[in-house]
A and B are shown apart, each in its own frame.
Chain A
Amino acid sequence: MVTLVRIGIPRALLYYHYFPLWETFWRNLGVEIEVSPPTNKQILDLGVEAAVPEACLPVKVYYGHILTLAQKVDYLFVPRLISSQKGTYICPKFMGLPDMLKHCGYNIPAIIAPTLNARHGKKAWERSHLQAAEELGFNRRLTQFAWQQAQRELASYHKELQAGRTPVDILYQRQPPKPTSRHTLLLLGHPYNIFDEFVSMNLINRLYHRGYQVVTPEMLPPKLVEKEAARLPKHLFWSLGRLLVGTANYYLQEKSIAGIVHVVSFGCGPDSLVGELLERRAKKLAHVPFLLLTLDEHTGEGGLITRLEAFLDMIEWRHVS
């Protein structure tokens, strides 16, 4: 058995999709886990300073979380996420993230960076996790046990998501307020934008306060998302993009939602194209109002609130008249 180590997991990027997996895995190995605090101004400022100016907001926020954790842990857990699903990629920046951090010019602890590439088969994620743990000195049987537990945890997390709870509700053990409006809104966007309350300026809670029920892409069963995403003329090779397109396609046909709010970060490569396709589709169908909110480190809360309120008022008037 190795001595107790502390591993830092940043509360950013795909934390909202995979934290239960990673937490259970390392906890079962007896590793102490330090999660960075929810994003705040200081974290953002750190990230903006450390990252290249051309990087998108979520990547800058990630840098900030890493630097916040740097003094407190022995290792940082920054997986090299290449693909979470056969035939797709995540985003080039995720693929280079461990290297970008290693060479960012700040003093940070060693990075544990398993390469997660589902293009190399179903077992690729497992192999990389086990290997990463073994390199730290854990024995194979223990790591296998931890992996099984972790997968079970992730499966039950997915189940809860599909039951209609948001990642933050589950991770922070919260209950959303009871909706007072009969309308449901679709909140589209990458999890690290819509569920990070600092980055999204509390968007989801603002919708709750207006009485809406909110659905997010995570709540649809993956099979359905895949089916809807397959309607595109060409196989879309970004997994997060597929999630957005699949969800939007599904709800645009369902007609059960009163509006779509799409949140993108400025300069997001995949979203610059995926978002464009979505917006054009929504406009053509014309029966669902569509609001596009673009976020970056300079976005002012006032502007965002004004646009959101105008949008929500418009939805309400539509249903009155």
Chain B
Amino acid sequence: MKVTFPHMGYLYVPLRAFFSQLGIEVVVPPPISQDTINLGTRYSPEFACLPLKINIGNFLQAAELGADTVVMAGGIGPCRFGYYAQVQKEILADLGIHLDMIVLEPPQGHWRQLFRGLKSLAANAGPVTVYRAGALAWAKLKVLDKLAKNQFVIRAREKVRGSTTQTWRIILDLVDQADSVQAVYIAAEQGQKLFDRIVLEPHRDVLKVGLVGEIYTLLEPAVNLEIERLLGEMGVEVVQSVYLSNWVMTNLVLHTFHLRNDGEHYQLAAPYLGSFVGGHGLETISTTIFYARSGLDGVIHLAPLTCMPEIVAKSILPQVSVDEDIPVLTFMLDEHSAEAGIQTRLEAFYELLKTRKQRGHKNNIKQIKNESTILGRKSIIESLSWH
């Protein structure tokens, strides 16, 4: 069995570790490129959402490298993602490519269902091996999430443009190569040291922008045209709303044991949206409100074109933007999105936010106070936990 999986940001690092520990051969699909997108688009339904198309591209490229089994997540609706695997299977079969699909359906309140899916993967592995594999993957995920968060703070203040991105790539490799939980923590420390070596301009006037929206477009740089990097290099500190480890925690672990607590999201969004709408639609609204009240300068909303939950959110966001007094910019991304277009709109948005801040807009008064305390490096790292 040679296992592959769809790309989503640095998800491949913990997944590779997990499967390797189980003694399964892993084929990580080549990084998403224009070729991947073209391949996926050619064989996918015309107005399917972008993640489905790119998944297809990933699978085709992985099959070329010898993969014979796909592992991916399922869902129970109403977001389309829950039916991806079935449609993708048909598309691949019609192309004459026979990949086994192991779909990990989210447990509907019962842990056994999830474990059954896992078990079909690790037939030979005992519970101890599975636990170890899980622990290693989890450690990598946690560490990368934390370092990614630091990355946003540092990139906005780097003296040499691109130095943070370069370091981040090295860190990804370091963590990817670690083969035990202890090695992961050592790699993380090394990574942090590399970050500390980057020369900063601590007094730079930095704007803070929150990213909200659909998880795949938020986490996959090839899809959002590296918006985190573009913003960072403009001198914007990005505040990311979704981290994989949080997502796994709420959706897999807490949900399974009936401990999930979305009360805060529902409460914040209630004046605007009275029901969950699948995907991350409700979280987009509630997080935008939260960011406005936390003193961020602006919010960028990302979603794939035709994404149903995010269309609901996009319809409501203008009102939130007015009421909460925070500029919101939406990007609906598809295979035709290009960096130049995004860059232009980001620059215009940046100018708007900067002007607002210079005029001492009320939201920013809070923030300027906040920032005077985060000039030294130590306090920058501390300030990461504020959100």
For B276, the chain A residues whose CB sits under 8 A away are 95
- Is the CB–CB distance between A276 and B78 below 8 Å? no
In the complex, identify which listed stretch (B134-142, B254-262, B305-313) lies at the interface while the others stay far away: B305-313
Closest residue on chain A to residue B89 by CB atoms: A233
Considering residues B47, B52, B74, B85, which has the most beta carbons from chain A within 10 angstroms of its beta carbon? Answer: B47
With A95-B277, A105-B318, A237-B77: A277-B87 Cβ-Cβ less than 8 Å: yes
Asked if B279 CB lies within 8 Å of chain A CBs, one says: yes
B60 to chain A, nearest CB (A): 17
Q: Of the 9-residue stretches A17-25, A130-138, A164-172, A263-271, which lies at the interface with chain B?
A: A263-271
A92 partner, pick from B278, B314, B320, beta carbons under 8 A: B278
User: Residues of A contacting B82 with CB < 8 Å?
Assistant: 237
Whether A91 contacts B275 by the Cβ 8 Å rule is no
CA distance A88 to B78 in the complex (A): 8
Instruction: Name A95's contact: one of B84, B91, B312, B319 (CB within 8 Å).
Output: B312
Contacts of B86 in A (CB 8 A): 232-234, 277
Interface string of A215-244 (1 = CB under 8 A from B): 000000000000000001110111000000
Q: Which residues of chain A come closer than 8 Å to B277, judged between CB atoms?
A: 92-93, 95-96
B272 within 8 A of partner (CB)? yes
Proximity bits, A76-118, B CB within 8 Å = 1, else 0 = 0000101000001111110110111001110000000101000
Q: Assess A267 versus B47: contact at CB under 8 Å? Given A99-B272, A105-B319.
A: yes
Q: State whether A99 touches B274 (Cβ < 8 A).
A: yes
| Cβ of B347 under 8 Å from chain A | no
Q: Which of A55, A90, A268 has the most CB of B within 10 A?
A: A55
Any B CB within 8 A of the CB of A272: yes
Q: How far in angstroms is the closest Cβ of chain A from B166?
A: 36
Most buried by A among B77, B85, B89, B103: B77
A95, B78: Cβ atoms closer than 8 Å: yes
Interchain CB contact under 8 A, B305 and A236? no
| B90 near A92: Cβ-Cβ < 8 Å | no
Q: Are A276 and B90 in contact (CB under 8 A)?
A: yes
Chain A proximity mask over B146-173: 1 for CB below 8 Å, otherwise 0: 0000000000000000000000000000
Q: Which residues of B are found within 8 Å of A266, using beta-carbon distances? A: 47
Instruction: Decide if B311 touches A276 in the complex (CB within 8 Å).
Output: no
- On whether A273 and B275 interact (CB within 8 A), knowing A52-B311, A100-B312, the answer reads no
Q: How many residues of A contact B (CB 8 A)?
A: 40
Q: Are B311 and A99 in contact (CB under 8 A)?
A: no
A209 within 8 A of B: no
Residue numbers in A under 8 Å from B83 (CB-CB): 234, 236-237, 273
Q: How far is the CB of B41 from chain A (nearest CB, A)?
A: 13
With A232-B86, A272-B48: A96-B79 Cβ-Cβ less than 8 Å: no
Distance in angstroms between the alpha carbons of A237 and B75 in the assembled complex: 10
CA distance A232 to B319 in the complex (A): 41
Interface contact B332-A54, CB-CB below 8 Å? yes
Interchain CB contact under 8 A, B45 and A273: yes
CA distance A99 to B305 in the complex (A): 21
Are B80 and A273 in touch, CB under 8 angstroms?
yes
Select which of A80, A89, A294 is within 8 A of B278 by beta carbon: A89
Q: Which of A150-187 contact B (CB under 8 A)?
A: none
Say whether A280 faces chain B, with CB atoms less than 8 Å apart: yes
Known contacts A93-B308, A103-B272, A277-B87; A272/B45 CB under 8 A: yes
Which of chain A's residues has its CB closest to B310's CB? A54
| Contact residue among B77, B91, B103, B272 (Cβ-Cβ distance under 8 Å from A238) | B77
Contacts of A54 in B (CB 8 A): 305-306, 311, 314, 332
- CB proximity of A196 to chain B, nearest CB, Å: 20
Q: Give Cα distance in the complex from A88 to B320, angstroms.
A: 30
Contact with A along B300-334 (1 / 0, CB 8 A): 00000111110111111011100000000000100
Residues in B whose Cβ lies below 8 Å from that of A91: 78, 308
* Partner pick for B80 among A96, A105, A269, CB 8 A cutoff: A269
Kindly name the residue among A104, A267, A268 whose own CB sees the greatest number of chain B CB atoms within 10 A: A267
**Which residues in B have their C-beta under 8 angstroms from that of A277?**
86-87, 90
Q: How far is the CB of B108 from chain A (nearest CB, A)?
A: 10
**A51 contacts B by Cβ under 8 Å:** yes
Contact of A103 with B278 at beta-carbon distance under 8 Å, contacts A273-B87, A275-B45 already known: no
Residues of chain A within 8 A (CB-CB) of B84 are 273
Which residues of chain A (263-321) have a CB below 8 Å from chain B?
A: 266-270, 272-273, 275-277, 280, 294
A231-265 CB contact bits vs B (8 Å, 1 = yes)? Answer: 01110111000000000000000000000000000
Contact mask for chain B residues 27-46; partner A; CB cutoff 8 A; 1 contact, 0 none: 00000000000000000011
CB distance from B147 to the nearest CB of A (A): 34
- Could you write out 7 A-B pairs with CB less than 8 Å apart? A96-B277, A99-B272, A99-B312, A100-B315, A115-B275, A273-B84, A276-B48
The 8 A-B residue pairs whose C-beta atoms are closest, nearest first, are A237-B77, A96-B312, A89-B78, A103-B319, A92-B308, A100-B315, A276-B45, A269-B308
Taking A234-B103, A267-B305, A276-B45 as known contacts, 17 extra A-B pairs with beta carbons closer than 8 A to each other, sorted by chain A number, are: A52-B311, A54-B332, A55-B315, A89-B278, A92-B308, A93-B311, A95-B78, A95-B276, A95-B277, A100-B315, A115-B274, A233-B86, A273-B83, A273-B84, A276-B48, A277-B87, A280-B94
